[in-house]
Structure 1
Amino acid sequence: MRALENADKFQPGSSLDAWLFTMTRRVWLNEKRAERIRGAGAIGGADLSDLPAPDLDTETNILARQVLSQVMALPEAQRSTVLLVYVEGYKYSEAAEILDIPIGTIMSRLASARKKLQSATQESETRSNG
């Protein structure tokens, strides 16, 4: 509805996906802020029970669950950047446009997220081997 109401603000030749995603993200952030103010609690994470893919082996599905739960544990800014670039496949410049931040911030967030994910993976391996 909001996209239709603001259709005159869309710039022809620009990415429709990015424009819609930016609008959706802003609505979501506003809702999150409002919930925090009202004290309504947090939105739950992804339902991992729907993750298994029947055509993949069990070990691959377990690894996918572990990776997804580690990604979902990242701070919101890093998580949204990781999801846009690595899951949705947006280029750094497109993700920067969607999130309305400089491309250097995208690169910084991804580097920080990779370090956190690597550290979490190493800790997990240490616990399982020790």
Structure 2
Amino acid sequence: MSDLLSQVEPMIPALRRYAHGLLRNPETADDIVQDCLEKVVSNWSRRRDENARSWVFTILHNLAINRLRQDARRSGMVPLDDMPEGTASIAAGQENMLFGQDVLAAIERLPPDHRSILLLITVEDLSYAEAATILSIPVGTVMSRLARAREQLRTILESKPVGTSTSGPYIRRVK
């Protein structure tokens, strides 16, 4: 049991970050991490590798993808009255905060397979081989998807909304 704790406990923050990045919902992400940890504890003796990190991230990834599929089958609509207060508006912030929000929004616009590769490699600092194991794809596919994800992210961040001028701030009118 101490082996389990010593290997898995340091991974929990990374698991939470990856789940938050994939699911974009803190409560759901925390639920998925908890489900993942339950599976890890109950199946610890069945793992094949000494490298528990890939195994644990694979479990988390599969649980997250299953949740995304469930949510896609169910409607993602929420009645306006059920929305938490303050989610409809964004507080003003400094330029870095706005750029950070732009990056996060751009990552959310990526397809799920590109988003998961980008998060595993750049945020969680996994190797290509570890990411390939987690996603059950060849290493070459990891590299090509990562390249496409980075290119698509760059394109999204560099694109300007139609009809904006090249100088001055971008102001959008919402009706």
Could you tell me the TM-score, scaled by structure 1's length? 0.75
CA pair 70-3 structure 1, distance change in 2 beyond 3 A: same
Q: CA deviation at 1:35?
A: 3.5
Matched length? 116
Helix, strand or coil at the partner of 2:110: coil
Mark the structure with the bigger radius of gyration: 2
- CA distance in 2: counterparts of 1:72 and 1:128, whole angstroms: 26
Partner of 2:28: none
Q: CA deviation at 1:40?
A: 3.9
Partner of 1:2: 39
Partner of 1:55: none
Q: CA deviation at 1:32?
A: 2.7
- CA distance in 2: counterparts of 1:5 and 1:79, whole angstroms: 29
Structure 1: 5+ residue stretches without partners = 53-57
Q: CA RMSD in A?
A: 2.5
CA-to-partner distance for each residue in 1:2-36, whole Å, 9 max, x for gaps?
1122112213522x122111111112222333343
- CA distance in 2: counterparts of 1:27 and 1:8, whole angstroms: 20
Structure 2: 5+ residue stretches without partners = 1-37, 78-86, 168-175
Letter in 2 for 1:88: E
1:29-40 alignment, distance < 5 Å: 29-37=65-73, 39-40=74-75
The counterpart of 1:83, out of the listed 113, 119, 130, is 119
Helix, strand or coil at the partner of 1:124: coil
The counterpart of 1:107, out of the listed 140, 143, 159, is 143
Helix, strand or coil at the partner of 2:159: helix
Structure 1 residue 19 and structure 2 residue 47: aligned?
no
Structure 1 residue 73 and structure 2 residue 109: aligned?
yes
Letter in 2 for 1:68: L
- CA distance in 1: counterparts of 2:124 and 2:140, whole angstroms: 19
Percent of paired sites with the same residue: 32
